[in-house]
A and B are shown apart, each in its own frame.
Chain A
């Protein structure tokens, strides 16, 4: 085994989930590879946070539809993770001896990679998931972990108490020591909810992973099994409060909202932040070209785009073509999609490589819109062709090409 010095902390990024609530958007890709924010993918956020926090060794655990994610991460160079020792490693499930198995749960996925972690002899292990948008300095969290002499530190967020029941709630004392953990409680006792970011002292985690693996009734899940087991045995679990922007983008609505948050100056997520850049793999594309007939309002547009229509409150990813007499409003148009002239797109997420032919209407709302009513989001899946003049009503999720006209 090649070894030099040990790493103080390495990160394990759980990127194997299907993200079924994103529907057609994750038909062909794992959730962490879903495009976000005009040029990024969701996984760029935890990866960049790691690198910016000084973590240079990351294992990415993949299972569901890993091809695009693997190709995207590659050797990790865009995130500065092409290292002589460490860097980024893709960790799919593999055959061991005569048998092998899928990752049964989040804890099992780490358990199956104990050897990978031991290669770096870390003192601490950071467990992350690939479905949240936030900027966080994990180094400060590690400092907190050491100060408290904790066995496990869980990053928590304060939410309005009425929303807490959607999350895993941490009940902690004044010293932030956690005495109880409740997964999605009906009547939450606290408004501190878990962000799915954990730091474990590795020796402790290893001990509990092995124990958990021996328990046949366990779901091998961090939230359901490992954390409660550690609490039961009186380990030191501490909460670490995070005050910035954090958003779970596990549903179509939350993905749409998180994208729109980037256009809202009142939401505290600023990506144009030189000391804390979000890195991503860049396509080799020329700068964007804005045509004679373009009208742009409060929108974010990326490289390689050709815009000749009207774009309002929208996020346009690289390589998108918007022809003239098109109106795109409150929508997210993912890479390399073409929207032909005369089309109207509103409150929609159009996945990558879609062609929307002339005079189509996507996200058409037939009912009158009441004030403050949440608009339904329309989703068009990857690589589909929507034929000329098609009308797709609001709230529909399209997963195969519409080649005939119809309402």
Chain B
């Protein structure tokens, strides 16, 4: 039954502000949860829901995503029927349009030639800024049973987020979950009694084709504003509640919070209830040397730890020297922290080196981000 479904992933977000972290990479390839990248959680949702035909829409800086995904083998997506395809932006010969889309609708429209060719009947769209363990079979079943034109997944509380970040779509629904309005959150507000869109949309491919063509002819480019909001009175657009834990990643504090939430056992169990696939690196197991103190942390393969690590998330191949103290921090792949360094509320990007005796301290509300390849 699921073979007639196509997955569509937007690898970027139009509203993210992740400072240096997305300077050289698209949002979907941002490392998250130790050894993973954001795309791993999204792709695993599809694969675990038996959807093996997936397109990834890219806009800019997607080379790290291409590098990470390869042929899609590690997600079981190297297939003759379906499989993984990356749709890269291009400009038509003779036109002076650039590869940058004016909005989600234009992105879909420009790639419609590929989407149209798919034999799928339904499309499940995911964004990259909100992660949540979800079974797409269930949402699709509800979509068909309730005779919806469009189904939009939502959450009642951004679990773990104290505030709803700016730019999140808030859905107004009646008792039957029919969406009659949509507002775009324009200020960080407290998460009380709101229903937030989580970027997962289900609809028929044929409907998507006509909606996109229609919107384009009027010069409308935003899927939420120009399709969901504008057509909420004419189409049967229904909400579908997702009760699993939500990771919201559109700001540095949100990213920090989302990672730290993984240290909570219930959240972790919920996030890893299904296998999450990622690129295999064949790293050696983590080595804990004499004199290390590790508490309440997530550690990936290939790490070598001689110092102290507390409330932190370490990606693969991180080295922590003697006497170093790493607290409340996120350390990405192959970063090296030398002797007696102190880090607190710091995000070290890949391949950063922090030399002996350096002290770096950020704050809960403003973590320090150290750019890829920096030497401190």
Segment at the interface with B among A113-121, A141-149, A293-301: A293-301
Say how far A283's CB is from chain B's closest CB, in angstroms. 9
Q: A279-B282, A290-B299, A294-B294 are in contact. Are A284 and B288 (CB under 8 A)?
A: no
Q: Does A268 contact B (CB under 8 A)?
A: no
Contact A292 B280 (CB under 8 A): no
Interface residues of A (CB under 8 A from B): 37-39, 77-78, 263, 271-272, 277-280, 282, 284-292, 294-303, 311, 315-316
Complex-state Cα separation, A289 to B297, whole angstroms: 6
Complex-state Cα separation, A291 to B288, whole angstroms: 14
Complex-state Cα separation, A333 to B293, whole angstroms: 21
Contact A287 B34 (CB under 8 A): yes
Say how far B35's CB is from chain A's closest CB, in angstroms. 5
Q: A277-B282, A302-B285 are in contact. Are A284 and B299 (CB under 8 A)?
A: no
Q: Does B287 contact A (CB under 8 A)?
A: yes
Complex-state Cα separation, A294 to B271, whole angstroms: 23
Complex-state Cα separation, A279 to B300, whole angstroms: 17
The 4 closest A-B pairs by CB, nearest first: A38-B285, A287-B34, A296-B288, A284-B275
Measured between beta carbons, the chain B residues less than 8 angstroms from A297 are: 288, 290, 292
Contact B73 A288 (CB under 8 A): no
Contact of B285 among A39, A284, A294 (CB under 8 A): A39
**Which of the listed residues B34, B263, B309 has the most CB atoms from chain A within 10 Å of its own CB?**
B34
Contact B290 A294 (CB under 8 A): no
Contact A289 B289 (CB under 8 A): no
Contact string against A for B residues 287-331, beta-carbon threshold 8 Å, 1 for contact and 0 otherwise: 111101111111111101000010000100000000000000000
Complex-state Cα separation, A294 to B308, whole angstroms: 12
Contact of A288 among B33, B286, B304 (CB under 8 A): B286
Contact B276 A284 (CB under 8 A): yes
Say how far B366's CB is from chain A's closest CB, in angstroms. 26
Complex-state Cα separation, A289 to B285, whole angstroms: 13
Q: Does B363 contact A (CB under 8 A)?
A: no
Contact string against A for B residues 8-47, beta-carbon threshold 8 Å, 1 for contact and 0 otherwise: 0000000000000000000000000111000000000000
Contact of B280 among A78, A290, A315 (CB under 8 A): A78
Measured between beta carbons, the chain A residues less than 8 angstroms from B299 are: 287-290, 301
Q: A272-B302, A287-B300, A290-B296 are in contact. Are A278 and B286 (CB under 8 A)?
A: no
**Which of the listed residues A286, A300, A316 has the most CB atoms from chain B within 10 Å of its own CB?**
A286
**Which single residue of chain B is at the shortest CB-CB distance from A314?**
B288
Contact A290 B34 (CB under 8 A): no
**Which single residue of chain B is at the shortest CB-CB distance from A318?**
B285
Give the contacts of B159-173 with A (CB-CB under 8 A). none
Complex-state Cα separation, A38 to B303, whole angstroms: 13
Q: A286-B268, A287-B300, A290-B294 are in contact. Are A299 and B35 (CB under 8 A)?
A: no
Give the contacts of B241-290 with A (CB-CB under 8 A). 263, 268, 271-272, 275-277, 280, 282-290
Contact B276 A286 (CB under 8 A): yes
Contact B282 A280 (CB under 8 A): yes
Interface residues of B (CB under 8 A from A): 33-35, 73, 263, 268, 271-272, 275-277, 280, 282-290, 292-302, 304, 309, 314
Contact B73 A287 (CB under 8 A): no
Say how far A346's CB is from chain B's closest CB, in angstroms. 18
Complex-state Cα separation, A95 to B276, whole angstroms: 42
Complex-state Cα separation, A285 to B300, whole angstroms: 10
Measured between beta carbons, the chain A residues less than 8 angstroms from B309 are: 290
Measured between beta carbons, the chain A residues less than 8 angstroms from B294 are: 290, 294, 296
Additional A-B contact list (14), CB under 8 Å, known A286-B33, A287-B314, A298-B289: A39-B301, A286-B34, A288-B298, A288-B299, A289-B268, A289-B298, A289-B299, A292-B296, A297-B290, A299-B288, A301-B285, A302-B285, A311-B288, A316-B285
Contact A287 B301 (CB under 8 A): yes
Say how far A345's CB is from chain B's closest CB, in angstroms. 17
Measured between beta carbons, the chain B residues less than 8 angstroms from A315 are: 285
Complex-state Cα separation, A301 to B288, whole angstroms: 8
Say how far A308's CB is from chain B's closest CB, in angstroms. 10
Contact A271 B288 (CB under 8 A): no
Provide a sorted-by-A list of 28 A–B residue pairs whose CB atoms are within 8 angstroms. Answer: A77-B73, A78-B282, A271-B284, A272-B283, A272-B284, A272-B304, A280-B282, A284-B275, A284-B276, A284-B277, A286-B268, A286-B271, A287-B301, A289-B297, A289-B299, A290-B298, A294-B294, A294-B295, A298-B289, A298-B290, A299-B287, A299-B288, A300-B284, A300-B285, A300-B286, A301-B285, A302-B286, A303-B300
Contact A296 B276 (CB under 8 A): no
Contact A301 B280 (CB under 8 A): no
Measured between beta carbons, the chain A residues less than 8 angstroms from B275 are: 284-285
**Which single residue of chain B is at the shortest CB-CB distance from A301?**
B286
Complex-state Cα separation, A18 to B126, whole angstroms: 50
Contact A287 B288 (CB under 8 A): no
Complex-state Cα separation, A315 to B314, whole angstroms: 20
Measured between beta carbons, the chain B residues less than 8 angstroms from A316 are: 285
Contact A287 B292 (CB under 8 A): no
Measured between beta carbons, the chain B residues less than 8 angstroms from A296 are: 288, 292, 294
Say how far A376's CB is from chain B's closest CB, in angstroms. 25
Measured between beta carbons, the chain B residues less than 8 angstroms from A301 are: 285-286, 288, 299
Complex-state Cα separation, A114 to B34, whole angstroms: 48
**Which single residue of chain B is at the shortest CB-CB distance from A297?**
B290
Complex-state Cα separation, A77 to B280, whole angstroms: 11
Complex-state Cα separation, A38 to B286, whole angstroms: 9
Say how far B49's CB is from chain A's closest CB, in angstroms. 16
Contact B295 A290 (CB under 8 A): yes
**Which single residue of chain A is at the shortest CB-CB distance from B316?**
A287
Contact of A287 among B35, B293, B296, B304 (CB under 8 A): B35
Complex-state Cα separation, A38 to B34, whole angstroms: 19
Say how far B128's CB is from chain A's closest CB, in angstroms. 20
Measured between beta carbons, the chain A residues less than 8 angstroms from B296 are: 290-292
